[in-house]
Amino acid sequence: MSYRVSSLYTYPIKSLPGISVNSLVMTHSGPRYDRHFMLIDDNNTFLCQRRQPDLALFKTTLKNEGIRVERNGSQIDIPFNAPAQGEMINSKLHQEFIPVRALHSDINTWFSEVLGQSVRVVRQAKNHMRHVKNHDDATVVFADSSPVLIIGQPALNHLNEKINQDFSVLRFRPNIVFLNGQPHDEDLWKSIEIGEGLFNQIKKCSRCKITTIDPVTGEGGVEPLKTLSSYRKENNKIKFGVYFKLENAGHAIVSVGDSISVKS
């Protein structure tokens, strides 16, 4: 079977919209600069579309060595190497506490004014490593659990046929989307090659409420979780897409159009 990469996405700020790109530099923490920043509130808890669906209404684009964030006719540029300042903060990400530092006050003020609440943009503290559970050779920055999420377009097409709607793959926030094959072939992949990269499977991805939020309007609903629960539930969790980790030393480049070779 000839599998081929059809689209690539990176998400520089956790829970904000992703950016479609032609190539990704893959590292042991996932795509370079993926979930590089995170928004936290005054309780030092991360902001998430699960609780604030309007985070979907931002627009993010890549700029030279950074990103531009836009909303309501206003915009701000954030360099990837934007210096952090102030004291160390123990931010809460689900049930985990992560040491972070906030970016410049101007950036925090812009987000606070746009969202109508006090927030800070943070970076992970230097030298802190979040290792993937049961995979000490893989790390993440602010991703929930694993470095690289892969979804097959056939799986999405199959879901859309069942729902009789045309849901975008953006609801599932993948890094790599591929064409060809049968729905959920990716479930069976243990080791694959894409472009310069060798990847091994970590686990299937458990889906949450974010998939029910329209990535364009920010409006919520019950689909696609309602339909997915009828045929993709395992151990009381809904699975869609598969997490992988990079096995190469250093980094590897993956590009749209690359073939995917299944090793095992």
pLDDT in tens, the chain (264 residues): 799 999 999 999 999 999 999 999 999 999 999 999 999 999 999 999 999 999 999 999 999 899 999 999 999 999 999 999 888 999 999 999 999 999 989 999 999 999 999 999 999 998 899 999 999 999 999 999 999 999 999 999 999 999 999 999 999 999 999 999 999 999 999 999 999 999 999 999 999 999 999 999 999 999 999 999 999 999 999 999 999 999 998 899 999 999 999 999
Residues in the chain: 264
- The residue among 11, 28, 66 whose CA lies nearest residue 198 is 28
CATH number (domain holding residue 130): 2.40.33.20
Q: Give residue 249's pLDDT.
A: 85
Per-residue pLDDT, 86: 81
- Taking Cα atoms as reference points, which of 5, 1, 2, 31 lies closest to residue 19? 31
* pLDDT of the residue at 88: 94
Q: Which residues contact 172 (CB under 8 A, 6 or more apart)?
A: 149, 151, 156, 207, 211, 240, 241
Q: What is the pTM of this model?
A: 0.96
Instruction: Give the C-alpha separation, 195 to 49, whole Å.
Output: 32
pLDDT the model gives residue 127 = 85
CA-only gyration radius of the chain, Å: 18
Work out how many domains the chain is built from and give that number. 1
25 strand-pairing partners: 253
Range of the domain at 201: 3-262
The answer to whether 176 and 8 have CB atoms below 8 angstroms apart is yes
